[in-house]
Structure 1
């Protein structure tokens, strides 16, 4: 798989400030953090840790791998904080650092290793579909886990450049100008890439997923037994349905309600809770930074 390295030198001509105004409060916060104020640095970590973890999770699929990636991204962001010039919001800039890392990550997800296509994934769903809904203990919880796991797996059937384009635009809601800046391309080129991915995903979900199209064949409730048997879902400890949520963030029920209202491809793939980054890992980042082993760049 071809990686893409995004640097300031890669920025297209005319790709200057991203549309919108960077709040003065954000500029002042970063200035204090760069000057060595511990409380400001911890506030920067607090603001960025959950969104960067969710970016990593959408790109690498498994929470354990996302934890590792998010920790590395957060260290890179903080140690490069002095290079931020307020050309974009702090989080948008942090996404740029994170995307650069994730596109070039050597570790591959299981689907990436197998180079699994959307068609092959659909065939696998059809083969493991039960005739009736799962009615065992925790049926609703396990069907939710199947849904969350399946939509993660669908994204892994895209190549990384396609995946990140969809994640930034249709899941995280960045404008085409912001997403293009993150990716180091022009807005028009980004919109074309995103529309190609949307068409592929709409066609796949319309033919496959009962959540997007009631006439499609697949139902989460009928995939539970096969998912548990294959080890994709842990019946005793659902990973995604039981994942901690960020304070004040959207939970499983709220995400499912959004899905029922919208019932389209973007809703199916984005109806996840607002997952929280593991606090022990991000607290460890703050401890390392305070230790002086990772000084901020001047």
Structure 2
């Protein structure tokens, strides 16, 4: 769990004022922290705002890191603390939509036939990606973060418990509760997991578009930039087709990259003199 000496040295140089080292720290953390924010808040625009605040907190607290955990694990802890206290963002969370309500919502307006409009395959993939995000938003924040850390990011229980500042037993209890709820929902709803379930992504496209949950011709998640060398949309979709469990379907997202313009803005803020850095 403790950091490697090379990582400790990198952070020490960054804290001492080495801008290249600080840039490397930011580069290492920005995409994983963005993916954490995206899974917790649901929408790219909200995740962009959240990761900006998280990165500022991480960098301005670097001097407090003593290598007691890997740098990313420690940064997740900073990010989780921010996200758990964030005001409610998504429609599902603001309106307290339960998984049962979401299931009813998916059944309403489901087309008889698959969508055959422009970019049909891409739009069906956008529905899948947005739907799995919405599933997570139906969980309580405590359940959601446990599920994201344990099942989506596949962190060890000891690391996830440290991030959440709870006992391993408490973490496992939250995780099992979330897993059970999502597994029940997916098996009864999602045709990707169970051929007898009613919902099919290609038959949900037009309804999702009419509700403003996806944008025909302008998908956000299916066209989202990914980390160089990371899992692409096509690779995530191919992986998903081999899976029938809830965790696999929800986990099968591309390795989204934090928007570079936002990261450049963060770097500019950190060097603007507006923040007292690294103390």
Same fold (TM over 0.5): yes
Shift of 1:192: 1.4
Counterparts of 1:106-117 in structure 2, within 5 Å, are 106-117=87-98
Moved over 6 A (4+): none
1:197 is aligned to: 178
Match of residue 61, structure 1, among 42, 46, 68:
42
1:235 is aligned to: 216
Counterparts of 1:106-255 in structure 2, within 5 Å, are 106-255=87-236
Shift of 1:21: 4.0
Superposed CA RMSD: 1.0
The alignment partner of 2:276 has SS state of: coil
Shift of 1:297: 3.9
Query: Structure 1's 272 and 111: CA in aligned 2 closer, same or farther, altered over 3 A?
Result: same
1:77 is aligned to: 58
2:21 is aligned to: 40
Shift of 1:54: 0.6
Contact 1:259 1:268 in 2 (8 A): yes
Match of residue 88, structure 1, among 60, 69, 92:
69
Contact 1:82 1:296 in 2 (8 A): no
Residue deviations 1:79-108 (CA, integer Å, cap 9, x gap)? 000000111100000000000000000243
Find the aligned partners of 1:253 and 1:209 in 2 and give their Cα distance. Answer: 20
Contact 1:52 1:98 in 2 (8 A): yes
2:250 is aligned to: 269
Find the aligned partners of 1:291 and 1:104 in 2 and give their Cα distance. Answer: 27
1:104 is aligned to: 85
Residue deviations 1:61-87 (CA, integer Å, cap 9, x gap)? 111110000000000000000000111
How many residue pairs match? The answer is 279
Find the aligned partners of 2:94 and 2:176 in 1 and give their Cα distance. Answer: 26
Find the aligned partners of 2:212 and 2:148 in 1 and give their Cα distance. Answer: 26
User: 5+ residue gaps in structure 1?
Assistant: 1-19
User: 5+ residue gaps in structure 2?
Assistant: none
TM value normalised by structure 1: 0.92
Contact 2:46 2:89 in 1 (8 A): no
Contact 2:149 2:155 in 1 (8 A): yes
Contact 1:142 1:224 in 2 (8 A): yes
Moved more, 256-265 or 145-154: 256-265
Shift of 1:293: 2.4
1:28 is aligned to: 9
TM value normalised by structure 2: 0.98
